[in-house]
Structure 1
Amino acid sequence: MESLPNYVSITFGVTVLLAVMLFYRATGRSNRFLAVIVVWIVAQAILSLSGFYTAAPAGSPRFGLVILPPLLTVITLFATKAGHRFLDRLDRPTLTIFHSIRILVELVLFWLFLHRAVPQLMTFEGRNFDILSGLTAPIVYYFAFVRKSMSRTALIGWNVICLGLVIFIAVNGLLSAPTPLQQFAFEQPNIALQYFPFVLLPAVLVPLVILAHLASLRQLQANQRH
């Protein structure tokens, strides 16, 4: 990734910082959350900068260390009472505006495509429509929490659609990476996510985006029952 312009990595680094700050704010400035996410980022930085992922032989399960811990964390939050308390205390307006960071993510993915580090299908010129989530987030925030004119049903629908968009492109990203699971993009595979700081996309940003949607949906459904 030596040929990649510095502005790509810097923009992505700023995006991660903004995402962590916004989610930290949504937690009510929970120091426990901040400590966990900082340790996780440092751990992924050490692993990726050491070549742990790029040096892995074909078929190695090493990249599972990026995906499985966040997945298990989300499952634990929804399966335990302590997790429920954490989710129900999250600030839904902040969780909504949080999704604006997806605009920057899509810009970075496009730059990575231009430098042959990800396939076109991972950009808004391909199969990635996730930029719509980022573009609509400020609009939804305004009408739902400033004007208070957006219905609960519309909010649920927006969260479900945007959740589907991020899961769809995450699966496409996995299936275009150079692993035994690869199904497409053989001419230009998804290699960027093996390197720092872009490993933080599947390790941090995607899990936080998914968690933000799921927590919002949980709160909306709880309010509907009451």
Structure 2
Amino acid sequence: MSELPSYVSGVFLATVATTFGFLYYGIKLAQKNKTSNHAVVVSTFLMTWLFIIALLALYDFFLVFDAMPPRLIFVLSPPIITILAVLSIKRSRNFVLRIPITTLTYLHIVRVPIEIVLWWLAGSQLLPYLLTFEGINYDILSGITAPFVAIFMVGLRSKSRIGAILWNLITLGLLINIVSHAILAAPTPFQVFGMDQPNVAVFYFPFIWLPSFVVPAVLFSHLVSLIKLLDKDSDLI
């Protein structure tokens, strides 16, 4: 990793910060009371999670590839469980559903630089090209189309509920596609793809924040957006 060009980590860290910014902004807009501290509480929680994951990565906790269960589970499970809990508890669900769908849609723009970073990492032999847009990863299209969906399908003046639902379902499928292949390309006992060049980049700092934060943030945006879109009484703003 020491031979990796510094701009790769720089672009990735900027993308993580942008993702964090979108979430923070969305939560601020969801607050009914301007004196509410929801954004501070959520930000503190997220920063604590990012710090713990970074610390474990820096101490090579995730590099024990033959561990059972695979240590990647400690990266993926907590965010997914948290998202499901937030959407299952009525009070927290009602709160996140107040996040404007336009903000949730614009968040997907971060998928463009992420795909570029993945391509750079593949060029440095830290993951297989299979996981890039040269392989089976078409997720960059999600990021490219996100601004158009935000403007023309869920924007203030133009709305297309059906179109937005279809876009979210298709791009959610693209996310599931790349995440599942990335997991199966990791050097664990369950590896299926990338035997010549496993997916090792995401086990190092700062790229460990991709599966532990950026991907869950994108998943969260899709799920909240779909809940809002499928509720005909929801206001698409």
Aligned AA (2:106): I
* Contact 1:28/1:91 (8 A) holds in 2: no
CA distance in 2, matches of 1:127, 1:36: 34
CA distance in 2, matches of 1:62, 1:146: 41
* Contact 2:65/2:188 (8 A) holds in 1: no
1:27 matches 2:21: no
The correspondence for 2:225, drawn from 211, 216, 222, is: 216
Aligned AA (2:147): P
Aligned residue for 2:108? Answer: 99
CA distance in 2, matches of 1:223, 1:23: 24
Task: After TM superposition, give the deviation of residue 143 of structure 1 in Å.
Answer: 1.1
Runs of 4+ aligned structure 1 residues displaced above 6 Å come to none
The correspondence for 1:178, drawn from 187, 193, 199, is: 187
Per-residue Cα deviation, 1:70-101 (whole angstroms, up to 9, x for no partner) = 01011111221123123212121111111001
Task: After TM superposition, give the deviation of residue 144 of structure 1 in Å.
Answer: 2.7
CA distance in 1, matches of 2:173, 2:121: 23
Task: After TM superposition, give the deviation of residue 142 of structure 1 in Å.
Answer: 1.6
Mind listing any 5+ residue stretches in structure 1 that lack a counterpart?
none
Aligned AA (2:2): E
Task: After TM superposition, give the deviation of residue 224 of structure 1 in Å.
Answer: 5.3
1:116 matches 2:116: no
Aligned residue for 2:4? Answer: 4
Task: After TM superposition, give the deviation of residue 62 of structure 1 in Å.
Answer: 2.2
Per-residue Cα deviation, 1:29-87 (whole angstroms, up to 9, x for no partner) = 61121111100100111000011111454445322110110010111112211231232
* Contact 1:88/1:219 (8 A) holds in 2: yes
Aligned residue for 1:43? Answer: 52
CA distance in 2, matches of 1:82, 1:224: 18
Task: After TM superposition, give the deviation of residue 148 of structure 1 in Å.
Answer: 2.9
1:202 matches 2:235: no
Task: After TM superposition, give the deviation of residue 223 of structure 1 in Å.
Answer: 2.6
Give the alignment of 1:13-162 within 5 angstroms. 13-28=13-28, 30-55=39-64, 57-146=66-155, 148-162=157-171
Distance 1:225-1:98 versus aligned 2 partners, 3 A rule? closer
CA distance in 1, matches of 2:132, 2:65: 26
Task: After TM superposition, give the deviation of residue 184 of structure 1 in Å.
Answer: 1.2
Q: SS at 2:136's partner residue?
A: coil
Distance 1:225-1:21 versus aligned 2 partners, 3 A rule? closer
RMSD: 1.6
Distance 1:119-1:56 versus aligned 2 partners, 3 A rule? closer
Identity across aligned pairs (percent)?
39
Mind listing any 5+ residue stretches in structure 2 that lack a counterpart?
30-38
Please report the TM-score for the alignment, with normalisation by the length of structure 2: 0.91
Distance 1:67-1:181 versus aligned 2 partners, 3 A rule? same
Matched residue pairs, number? 226
Distance 1:224-1:128 versus aligned 2 partners, 3 A rule? farther
CA distance in 2, matches of 1:97, 1:65: 28
